[in-house]
């Protein structure tokens, strides 16, 4: 099974599917169809039915039931796109077999090193196989690991008809990384009673609560005057942008928060004296605290405008997704099913809140309860990203066990 997983994974990560948060199209980049079309071909070759890539880039397929029992229809989803935070072009995966516990040199020339002091979780994988990129791109385990794991699980079921199962629905989605992954997803047509996104991190992760999320885009209009004659005339947009940022709580930044603590995260900052632009993401698990955060950033902009007695700054705040816990709690048996599946394949369940979001969060609010399962990846969205092959194999085993348990 490991060879099947790694072959698929290596093939998928070399296809550039980076999404674009500034695009007005869906999917946000046409190149996501490159992977979608390949997956359509491979699903047909495996033997699934109702295989389709639609005009929005959604890949869907069905594995028909092979049991006469009345069992639920289960869905499994993963997203094809990779983060805009770092290049996904010309990904060159590297495989480090039988990891010895030392620092891993990803790229000697660029001095990109996975140092154990920085990433102590590496010690958990001594003797295992670690996959990285080459230092100038992300790897794409988020979420091509999930794609490879679902594909491998479906292939395994086709070749092992002795494993009885109900109808299984598969979907691979675009644009998850820019918060639009299920904008056009037809839950009713998909036809699952409940589903799981395979889009988590390290082995054992099981998540059914996530951040409430919003984006905030702030534009500052300054006034550029020759600095020699600027007194009482110049309005420096760069300085105003930094002032707005300083009005937000210093201790509510990603690098200073953990567990259930929310944050403001600056994702873009461009500016000249004449004009500046700041972009944030706002996150909190607690809905009340989330709403307070949105008020705080709005108030920061209002404060600046009062100071200058004119609309120097404008802000656009958009909600992106909400905490799925509210929708999962009434059907907690689907979480318990995963816990038991993990235990049966020798994985310790680690139930924790997602410090991010998944397509499953929005799907849960669209009527498809959808917890999230680990893929075996670490350090997503950057050059230090890595995946552990043995963890990926366990993810496949968990998927298979969930399906098997649904017929009990």
Angle in degrees, CA 77, 146, 355, rounded to 5: 85
For residues 312 and 302, give the distance between their C-alpha atoms in angstroms, rounded to a whole number: 9
Instruction: Name the catalytic one among 16, 176, 177, 209.
Output: 176
For residues 279 and 256, give the distance between their C-alpha atoms in angstroms, rounded to a whole number: 19
Q: How many helices (H) and strands (E) does the chain have?
A: 10, 18
Range 215-229 burial, b when 16+ CB lie within 10 A, else e? bbebbbebeebeeee
* 286 counts as catalytic: no
241 Cβ neighbours under 8 A, 6+ residues apart: 218, 220, 269, 271, 276, 277, 278
Instruction: Tell me if 297 sits within 8 A of 264, measured CB to CB.
Output: yes
Instruction: Name the catalytic one among 16, 42, 81, 199.
Output: 81
Angle in degrees, CA 337, 180, 385, rounded to 5: 70
Name residue, tokens 């086709």. 158
SS3 sequence of 134-153: CCCCCCCHHHHHHHHHHHHH
What is the rounded end-to-end Cα distance, in angstroms, of the chain? 25
User: Which residue numbers are catalytic?
Assistant: 81, 176
């Amino acid at each position: 099974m490991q060879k099947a997983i790694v072959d698929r994974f290596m093939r998928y990560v070399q296809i550039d599917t980076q999404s674009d948060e500034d695009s007005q199209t869906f999917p946000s980049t046409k190149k996501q169809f490159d992977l979608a079309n390949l997956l359509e071909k491979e699903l047909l070759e495996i033997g699934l039915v109702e295989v389709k890539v639609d005009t929005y880039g959604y890949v869907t397929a069905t594995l028909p039931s092979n049991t006469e029992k009345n069992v639920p229809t289960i869905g499994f989803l993963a997203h094809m796109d990779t983060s805009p935070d770092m290049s996904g072009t010309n990904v060159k995966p590297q495989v480090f077999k039988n990891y010895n516990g030392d620092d891993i040199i990803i790229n000697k020339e660029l001095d990109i090193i996975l140092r154990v002091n920085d990433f102590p979780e590496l010690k958990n994988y001594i003797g295992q196989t670690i996959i990285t990129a080459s230092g100038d791109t992300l790897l794409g385990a988020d979420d091509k690991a999930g794609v490879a794991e679902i594909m491998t699980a479906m292939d395994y079921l086709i070749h092992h008809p002795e494993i009885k199962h109900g109808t299984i629905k598969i979907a691979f989605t675009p644009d998850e990384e820019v918060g639009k992954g299920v904008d056009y997803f037809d839950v009713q047509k998909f036809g699952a009673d409940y589903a799981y996104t395979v889009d988590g991190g390290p082995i054992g992760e099981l998540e059914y609560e996530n951040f409430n999320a919003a984006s905030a885009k702030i534009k500052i209009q300054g006034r550029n005057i020759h600095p020699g004659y600027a007194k009482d005339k110049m309005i420096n947009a760069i300085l105003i942008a930094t002032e707005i940022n300083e009005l937000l709580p210093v201790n509510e930044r990603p690098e200073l928060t953990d567990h259930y603590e929310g944050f403001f995260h600056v994702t873009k900052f461009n500016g000249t004296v004449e004009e500046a632009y700041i972009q944030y993401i706002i996150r909190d698990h607690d809905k009340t605290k989330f709403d307070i955060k949105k008020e705080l950033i709005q108030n920061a902009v209002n404060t600046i405008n009062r100071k200058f007695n004119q609309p120097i700054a404008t802000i656009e705040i958009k909600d992106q997704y909400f905490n799925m816990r509210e929708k999962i709690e009434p059907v907690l048996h689907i979480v318990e099913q995963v816990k038991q599946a993990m235990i049966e394949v020798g994985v310790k369940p680690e139930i924790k809140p997602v410090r991010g979001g998944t397509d499953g969060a929005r799907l849960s609010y669209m009527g498809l309860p959808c917890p999230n399962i680990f893929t075996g990846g670490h350090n997503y969205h950057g050059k230090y990203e890595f995946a552990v092959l043995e963890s990926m194999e366990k993810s496949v085993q968990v998927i298979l066990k969930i399906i098997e348990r649904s017929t009990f």
